[in-house]
Amino acid sequence: MFKTFLDSEGPSTMGIPPFTCLGWHQTGECSPDGPREPDNDASCSTNIKAGASGYCLLKNEAT
């Protein structure tokens, strides 16, 4: 396994828990802590326009 690590290109992902995207949660006031705007929530496959405030809701599959 160490040889595989040494031969790899790019950063290691070992030890990073698997996360699943649950969706985009839109918020107001240009802040991820702003008031929720659920009518503007989006799926994980939607491209979010620049300038939108909000956050991606993730689920840790290990928990």
pLDDT value of position 13: 67
Q: How far is CA 17 from CA 11, 14, 58, in A?
A: 15, 8, 12
CA angle 25, 61, 55 (to 5 degrees): 15
Q: What is the pLDDT along the chain (63 residues), one digit of tens a residue?
A: 445 545 666 666 667 778 899 999 999 999 999 999 999 999 999 999 999 999 999 998 876
